Amino acid sequence: MLDDTTWERWAKHSEAVSWVWSSSAGHITQGMQVVLLIWTDGYWKLPVGMRLWRKGEKSKVELANELLSEAAERGLQPNYVLFDSWYASRRILNRLEGLKWKYVARIKSNRLLDGESISRKWRHRFGQAIGQLKRVDHTVRIVKDGRRFFVTNELKLRPVEVKQHYRRRQQIEETFRLLKQEFGWGGSSVRKAKAQVAHLHLGLMAMCLAQHAAYTRKQSVYALKRTLFCQPIPDQLPFWEDLLAAA
């Protein structure tokens, strides 16, 4: 799953802070934005790669393309790659097709399918079609559901299956919520971008360790946190065996 997240951070001098669009606030603000790629089976949420976006440097699509390339080099073979309409660019779609990876994504209504805007292709609430998106080098299936449009290169998927797959994208929203609420994302005030990236990676490592510890104790990550806070301060790092297993 591929997505990005933003949080506000006001600072006069910080390499990691830029003017960013905040979807939750609905306006541009000073803050930080991260592009994240994760693998999940519905329970485990494992980070595959992360990039810090900074204004004036590489675009989020370019960063996402780098993450996908790195995942392929590591031998990752996902069943499906899920992402929203921001990343449904021709570059990402063509890259995934080149890797022979199947994807399911939202797509903007102004995209052209066989030369016609998909927003004008169906008069009714539901619809589907197979065709060629402009500047995309392979055949896709477009599914309409009310005002939402989906795209996939798995042509045999039925519309209901396309929507079922896309709903699983909520896993990355849960991942962002965990990282921000439980593992310190957005909580560092260091100025150097390198230090901020190190802090973000420590949050990802902590999330992986917490998932492993929660799984072995048959708890949720949130229940594990409550358990930890009820314990006395240890002489050494708790769950040392989990750290060794993750390493």
Give 153-183 pLDDT, tens digit per residue. Answer: 999 999 999 999 999 999 999 999 999 998 9
Under a CB-based contact definition with an 8 Å cutoff, are residues 7 and 185 in contact?
A: yes
- pLDDT of 88 above 80: yes
The partner residues of 45 in beta bridges, in order of sequence, read 40
Structure tokens at 52: 């810090």
| Helix, strand, coil percent content, the chain, rounded in steps of 5 | 35, 25, 35
Sort residue 55 into left (φ over 0), alpha (ψ -120 to 50) or beta: beta
Q: Mean pLDDT over residues 94-104, rounded? A: 97
Q: State residue 91's pLDDT score.
A: 96
- pLDDT of 238 above 80: no
- pLDDT of 150 above 80: yes
pLDDT digits (tens, 9 = 90+) for 25-76: 677 888 899 999 999 998 899 999 999 998 889 999 999 999 999 999 999 9
- pLDDT of 225 above 90: no
**pLDDT, the chain, mean:** 90
Q: State residue 233's pLDDT score.
A: 60
Q: State residue 15's pLDDT score.
A: 81
Q: State residue 43's pLDDT score.
A: 87
Q: State residue 86's pLDDT score.
A: 93
Among the ranges given (25-29, 206-210, 233-237), the one the predictor scored with the smallest mean pLDDT: 233-237
- pLDDT of 12 above 80: no
Question: Looking at the chain, which runs of residues are DSSP E strands?
Answer: 2-8, 18-22, 27-40, 45-53, 81-83, 103-106, 112-113, 116-117, 126-132, 139-145, 148-152
What's the pLDDT band for 247 if we cut at 50, 70, 90? Answer: low
Dihedral of CA atoms 166, 168, 173, 178 in degrees, nearest 10, equals -170
Number of H helices, E strands in the chain: 7, 11
Q: State residue 223's pLDDT score.
A: 86
Q: State residue 241's pLDDT score.
A: 63
